[in-house]
């Protein structure tokens, strides 16, 4: 296995782990009772944290789409 393939494989696993961790944190199951306090902009704290983590998931997805995802230009280089 070439170094390029090994780095790509390791990077894929890091992305998977990153997505799994973010999705787990986005679900408010870990908040105990009384999670309604304190309020942020009239919403419970867990809503703000869940919304922020959803934003991080969106940013990570966009980064993967623009940086890591193979493009048409990459395919033409392989064919040469």
Domain ranges of the chain: 36-63
- The tens-digit pLDDT sequence of the chain (80 residues) is 455 555 566 678 888 899 999 999 888 877 777 666 788 788 888 888 889 999 999 999 998 888 877 766 655 555 55
What are the φ and ψ backbone dihedral angles of 44, each rounded to 5 degrees? -60, 155
CA distance 19 to 54: 11
CB 42 within 8 A of CB 52: no
CA distance 12 to 5: 10
Say what the pLDDT of residue 8 is.
61
Say what the pLDDT of residue 1 is.
46
Say what the pLDDT of residue 7 is.
55
Say what the pLDDT of residue 59 is.
93
What are the φ and ψ backbone dihedral angles of 32, each rounded to 5 degrees? -80, -175
CB 41 within 8 A of CB 48: yes
Say what the pLDDT of residue 12 is.
81
């Amino acid at each position: 296995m070439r170094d390029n393939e090994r780095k790509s494989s390791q990077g894929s696993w890091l992305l998977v782990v990153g997505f799994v961790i973010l999705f787990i944190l986005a679900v408010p199951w870990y908040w105990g009772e009384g999670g309604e306090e304190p309020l942020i902009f009239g919403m419970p704290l867990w809503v703000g944290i869940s919304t922020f983590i959803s934003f991080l998931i969106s940013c990570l997805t966009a980064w993967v789409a623009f940086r890591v995802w193979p493009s048409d230009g990459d395919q033409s280089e392989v064919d040469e």
